[in-house]
A = this chain, B = another copy of it.
């Protein structure tokens, strides 16, 4: 009996979850009672619900939830939690993912020859403002290596031309896969990726486009913005999809310009928007704030995190 008692305690110890924030992202057909059922489930498992955000798309009759749980003192293993949740999820047709704070995402940054977005991400990372591990920088140019060295991040120079494109992408993919990369940030990587590459990382590639999409899709947006005489310029962070510049938009912002702004000035003003927009998008992704549906990114606002 004593033995049994010990085992029980041991068992419980093994199952005690590390105190941390756990975030579930949920998408399902809308119906009555969803909030009640889901919040009840977590309540009964002993979680404290830090925040619970919902969105109902009444056109698509779809329900979305982001729920953040505090695991303080909860006695259940991750595995058991997920198995139990499945029992709730299946009849309600929930599609879901879960993120444990303790599991940091692995990040790869891809760049070409523009440095401002790279600097910005590395700086935030170094200052502890990006909850991830930046595993590597991959570039088709060698130009930005010194920045990688300043910040002590491995830099892989994989040049590419028409003939080597397939081969180069294979090498990139090998690097990404070997390093268990969870998120690829294209911080001004000026190469069009193949469908094969993009489809291998669905909703795992964030790209920054240097215009206020859908305006000025494609090449030379600042030059075209100048020629069109727009009074505001912008930048757009989006998930990469096979249709170039048409993936789900995560974040956008703009800045006022004037007729005095030359294409060169626009580029400089735009660089500051690009940096901010990309950093916010990466942060939203890392904090599990995003659910994609119908090519639209539902980005739940931060809730005091």
Residues of A within 8 A of B (CB): 32-37, 39-40, 42-44, 46-56, 58-59, 115-116, 119-120, 123, 127, 129, 150-151, 212-216, 227-232, 234, 248-254, 256, 258-262, 265, 268, 272, 276, 279, 295-299, 301-305
Contact = CB atoms under 8 A, between A and B. Distances in A.
Given A32-B47, A36-B36, 16 more contacts: A32-B43, A34-B49, A35-B49, A35-B52, A36-B49, A50-B56, A55-B303, A116-B123, A213-B228, A229-B295, A229-B297, A231-B251, A231-B299, A260-B304, A261-B304, A301-B301
A268 B305 CA distance: 11
Number of copies: 4
A116 to B, nearest CB: 7
Contact of A52 (B54, B120, B258, B261): B54
A260 B301 CA distance: 9
A272 B265 contact: no
Given A212-B232, A229-B248, A265 B56 contact: no
Contacts of A44: 36
B32 A36 contact: no
Contacts of A151: 150
A230 B298 CA distance: 11
A259 B32 contact: no
A157 to B, nearest CB: 20
A74 to B, nearest CB: 11
Contacts of A251: 231
Contacts of A215: 212-215
B40 A260 contact: no
Nearest to A152: B150
Given A56-B51, A56-B304, A127-B115, A259 B36 contact: no
